[in-house]
């Protein structure tokens, strides 16, 4: 049954990230019936449309002209036209243009409707073998090493699985920075060319992964998703907050008593605190 199109609606349409068979029938129905398709790159989208014999009007809408296009698109929607927004691949707005347009349309009271489908970040995460109950999508890391290391340092204690997009040409430098900032034993997954002929999903410690990339230049080609295991909290670690409390109590009572009270407050073991208490007392 063919999907019906609502007038005055902006459809956010997910397209394949590689394999053309991954587009949904609903997405094809929308792309066929809307009055206009707004594309990140009209030439790229035309290949998809031609593959499914879709003959429809397109217009470019990318990072450099989104603010200018949003007024025009909103006007067309207000007049009752229906418009589809697509990116070059995957789900629009996920590290792709469209945020300003969608926000503007919603502020104008215009209907925005998602047509879900492929997303490289989610596809990679589903096959990575890392925890998925909690994760953070971080987009692209900075291109320069100093800024990239600073960004990684800010995420050093992030306990959730972290998902990044990365340019293949700098994957070695990125993994080298992961080794430097997060440690060579941090578990990392590279998912490359997902759904395509040379799809590769490789996982290892950051240090071993760096060796693998250096030994096989073919792994530096194509689209890439990088997934980093979250920081593992040591259940026996004593936080600065706990030590500060222990310091205050030691001013008023003996180490044994101070340790017992601190352990009760924070749910830690007394024995783990006693050596610290003796050291603090000098």
Q: Can you tell me the distance from the alpha carbon of 244 to that of 183, in angstroms, rounded to the nearest whole number?
A: 28
pLDDT of the residue at 235: 61
Q: Is 271 exposed, middle or buried (0-12, 13-18, 19+ CB in 10 A)?
A: exposed
Biggest alpha carbon distance in the chain?
83
The total number of structural domains in the chain stands at 3
**At which of 118, 141, 161 does a domain end?**
118
Token pair of 70, please? 């949003």
- The residues facing 205 across adjacent strands are 187
pTM of the model: 0.82
94 and 154 both lie in a single domain: no
Are 206 and 245 part of one and the same domain? Answer: no
Q: Are residues 47 and 86 both part of a single domain? A: yes
The verdict on 103 and 151 lying in the same domain is no
Q: Which domain holds residue 78?
A: 9-118
210 inside domain: yes
| Domain shared by 125 and 204, yes or no | yes
Would residue 233 count as lying in a domain?
Answer: no
Structure tokens at 82: 């229906």
Same domain, 193 and 113: no
How much is the pLDDT for 91? 97
Average pLDDT of every residue of the chain = 93
Q: Residue 221 belongs to a domain with what CATH number?
A: 3.30.950.10
Are residues 129 and 110 part of one domain? Answer: no
Sheet holding 224-228, edge to edge: 135-140, 161-166, 224-228, 187-192, 200-205
Asked whether residue 141 falls in the same domain as residue 154, the answer is: yes
Domain boundary among 204, 228, 252: 228
Has residue 113 been placed in a domain?
yes
d(CA 157, CA 172): 23
> Does 109 reside within a domain?
yes
User: Are residues 128 and 81 both part of a single domain?
Assistant: no
Find residue 15's DSSP bridge partners: 90
Let me know if residue 215 belongs to a domain.
yes
Residue of 102, 148, 156, 95 lying closest to 122 (CA atoms)? 95
Residues 6+ apart with CB under 8 A from 256: 274
Residues 114 and 126 in one domain: no
Pairing of strands 58-60, 111-115: unpaired
* CA torsion, ordered 73, 77, 82, 85, to nearest 10 deg: 30
Residue 209 CB neighbour total at 10 angstroms:
25
| Chosen domain end from 118, 139, 173 | 118
> Would you say residue 1 lies in a domain?
no
pLDDT value, residue 144? 95
Contact 258, 246 (CB under 8 A): yes
Question: Do residues 16 and 48 make contact, with C-beta atoms less than 8 angstroms apart?
Answer: yes
Based on the domain organization, do 128 and 56 belong to the same domain? Answer: no
Are 28 and 72 in a shared domain?
Answer: yes
Model pLDDT for residues 183-198, shown as the tens digit of each residue: 999 999 999 999 999 9
Give the residues of the chain that fall short of pLDDT 50.
none
Instruction: Tell me, yes or no, whether 235 lies in a domain.
Output: no
Residue 2 lies in a domain: no
Q: What is the CATH number of the domain that holds 17?
A: 3.40.1010.10
Instruction: Give dist(CA 211, CA 243) in Å, integer.
Output: 40
CA distance 277 to 255: 6
Nearest CA to 85 out of 70, 71, 75 is that of 70
Q: Give me the pLDDT at residue 280, please.
A: 85
């Amino acid at each position: 049954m063919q999907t019906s199109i609502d007038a005055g609606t902006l459809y956010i349409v997910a397209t394949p990230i590689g394999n053309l068979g991954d587009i949904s029938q609903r997405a094809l129905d929308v792309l066929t019936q809307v009055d206009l398709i707004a594309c990140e790159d009209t030439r790229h989208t035309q290949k998809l449309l031609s593959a499914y014999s879709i003959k429809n009007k397109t217009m470019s809408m990318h990072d450099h002209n989104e603010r200018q296009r949003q007024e025009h698109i909103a006007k067309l929607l207000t007049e009752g036209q229906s418009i589809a927004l697509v990116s070059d691949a995957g789900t629009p707005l996920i590290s792709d243009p469209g945020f300003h347009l969608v926000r503007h349309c919603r502020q104008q009271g215009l209907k925005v409707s998602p047509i879900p489908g492929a997303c490289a970040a989610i596809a990679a995460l589903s096959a990575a073998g890392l925890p998925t109950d909690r994760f953070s999508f971080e987009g692209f890391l900075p291109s320069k090493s100093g800024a990239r290391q600073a960004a990684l340092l800010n995420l050093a204690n992030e306990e959730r699985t972290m998902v990044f997009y990365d340019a293949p040409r700098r994957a070695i430098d990125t993994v080298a920075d992961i080794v430097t900032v997060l440690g060579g034993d941090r578990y990392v997954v590279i998912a490359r060319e997902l759904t395509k002929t040379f799809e590769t999903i490789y996982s290892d410690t950051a240090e071993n992964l760096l060796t693998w990339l250096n030994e096989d230049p073919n792994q530096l080609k194509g689209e890439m998703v990088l997934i980093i295991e979250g920081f593992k909290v040591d259940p026996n670690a004593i936080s600065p907050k706990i030590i500060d409390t222990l310091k205050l109590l030691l001013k008023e009572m003996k180490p044994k008593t101070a340790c017992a009270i601190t352990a009760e407050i924070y749910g830690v073991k007394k024995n783990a605190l006693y050596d610290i208490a003796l050291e603090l007392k000098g």
